[in-house]
Amino acid sequence: MNYNTSIVKIPENLLIENNIDKITGLPVFKKANKLLNRGELVAFPTETVYGLGADASNSEAVKKIFKVKGRPQDNPLIVHIANFEQFERVRNNNFSLDDDLYNILNNFWPGPLTVILPKSKLIADRTTANLQTVGIRMPSHPVALSLIESSDTPLAAPSANISGFPSPTTAQHVYEDLKNKVPLIIDGGHCKVGVESTIIKVKDEEIIILRPGGISREELANISKRKIKNNKKDIKDERTKIEQKAPIAPGMKYKHYSPETKLILYKSNFENLFKYISKNSNKNLALVMTKESIDKLKKKNDFDLANIELVEIGSLNKIEDIANRLFYTLRELDKAEFDSIIIEEIPEKGIGEAIMNRVYKATSDLI
């Protein structure tokens, strides 16, 4: 597979207007649909991260996604839909849904929520890695909606990165990973949410969060009568490994969301941080912190920060901005070739839970 990858930019004014009709009328969608119908891949923006799309009913097309990303075959893909009519086509209608679940979907769709349900025959087995369930999501980005609607097929789409790397939140980041591997990248600007969708499974009176994401547990609890539970196992292992300081040899840890540069989580105190920095004074370090911590750090004039690249990721008053910049910052710093990137812990409230889930999976050391 060797393509001359083209990036086609959607005019910003149409994105700001959220004008789906005008967007769908752009020539790029004809081209994209031709590719999708032929079983080719198209990378496109969503409000969370960029996706790498294929016709979810076409097994050969979906096979390409796994190949291009280097994704393990047993990791199922999320299917993206544009409306509730498509929703009924991708799920197994022998299972009836209750009012509470419809209420959840009506509230958060289109948006960063994925729900796991029994799948219909339309969805290729390869899409769901042979599971009888499918993750379904209706994204809110107008370009994603235009593409799915006009292609008239649900799109299987994982994040448009090489497996293991941080997800892409700009078309440029998609290009850096998938150049010559895909024919078309649609550029719809910087993704607003910046971390992936929340994945839920509904079981009796419970909602189980399989992956925290763009919709917080607090938001779900406001809408649903069900009890919200965590898939605690998800990051428990990562957390224990890091917190017990079990030695992690490079390449031993299952890589997820990770930049190539070593990522270190900072969650203790300035004293330990300063100790670490002085011990590693010969190293080229980047320190990613909230505005609040940077302000405090700058007041500490007993410490020399001259050799540290300080990167402000956002304010705790607007934690959404931190989510928005997380993957972007990791990818940009990765290009600058630091010896290590130190990233500060964020409180696990609201979207902070999704942020820390990604950070725990990406880090291999702790201060």
- Measured in degrees and rounded to the nearest 5, phi and psi for residue 362 equal -90, -20
Interface with ligand TXA includes 116 (CB under 6 A)? yes
Burial string for 216-247 (b: 16+ CB within 10 Å, else e) reads: bbebbeeebebebeeeeebbeebbebbeeeee
Q: Considering only residues 10, 42, 43, 51, which one is a binding residue for ligand TXA as defined by CB under 6 A? A: 51
* Residue 111, phi-psi category: left (phi > 0), alpha (psi -120 to 50), beta (remainder): left
Least Å from the CB of residue 330 to ligand TXA: 15
Q: Considering only residues 58, 150, 197, 364, which one is a binding residue for ligand TXA as defined by CB under 6 A? A: 197
Residue closer to ligand TXA (CB basis): 48 or 57: 48
* CA distance linking residue 108 with residue 114, whole number of Å: 10
* CA distance linking residue 176 with residue 162, whole number of Å: 10
3-state SS assignment for residue 290: strand
Read out DSSP for 80-149? E-SSHHHHHHHB-TTS---HHHHHHHHHH-SSSEEEEEEBPTTS-TTTTTT-SEEEEE----HHHHHHHH
Q: Considering only residues 57, 86, 114, 340, which one is a binding residue for ligand TXA as defined by CB under 6 A? A: 114
Residue 76's binding partner out of Mg ion, ligand TXA, none, with CB under 5 to 8 Å set by partner kind: ligand TXA
- The answer to whether the Cα torsion of 163, 168, 173, 178 is positive or negative is positive
Interface with ligand TXA includes 194 (CB under 6 A)? no
| The pair of three-digit structure tokens given for residue 314, joined into one six-digit string | 């956002």
Interface with ligand TXA includes 115 (CB under 6 A)? no
Which residues are bridge partners to 201 per DSSP? Answer: 116, 208
| The pair of three-digit structure tokens given for residue 312, joined into one six-digit string | 């402000």
CA 160 to chain centroid = 9
Residue 197's binding partner out of ligand TXA, Mg ion, none, with CB under 5 to 8 Å set by partner kind: ligand TXA
Residue 352's binding partner out of ligand TXA, Mg ion, none, with CB under 5 to 8 Å set by partner kind: none
Read out DSSP for 7-52? EEEPPHHHHHHT-HHHHHTSHHHHHHHHHHHTT--EEE--SSS-EE
3-state SS assignment for residue 170: coil
Residue listed under structure tokens 């079981």: 203
Interface with ligand TXA includes 49 (CB under 6 A)? yes
Residue 226's binding partner out of ligand TXA, Mg ion, none, with CB under 5 to 8 Å set by partner kind: none
Interface with ligand TXA includes 42 (CB under 6 A)? no
Q: Considering only residues 159, 224, 258, 340, which one is a binding residue for Mg ion as defined by CB under 5 A? A: 159
Residue 293's binding partner out of Mg ion, ligand TXA, none, with CB under 5 to 8 Å set by partner kind: none
Residue closer to Mg ion (CB basis): 159 or 329: 159
Per-residue x/- marks for ligand TXA, 118-157, CB under 6 A? ----------x--x-xxx-x-x-----------------x
Q: Considering only residues 28, 40, 48, 200, which one is a binding residue for ligand TXA as defined by CB under 6 A? A: 48
**Nearest residue (beta carbon) to ligand TXA:** 158
Least Å from the CB of residue 301 to Mg ion: 42
Residues near Mg ion (CB under 5 A) are 159
What does the binding site for ligand TXA look like in residue numbers (CB under 6 A)? 46, 48-49, 51, 75-78, 112, 114, 116, 128, 131, 133-135, 137, 139, 157-159, 196-197, 199, 210-211
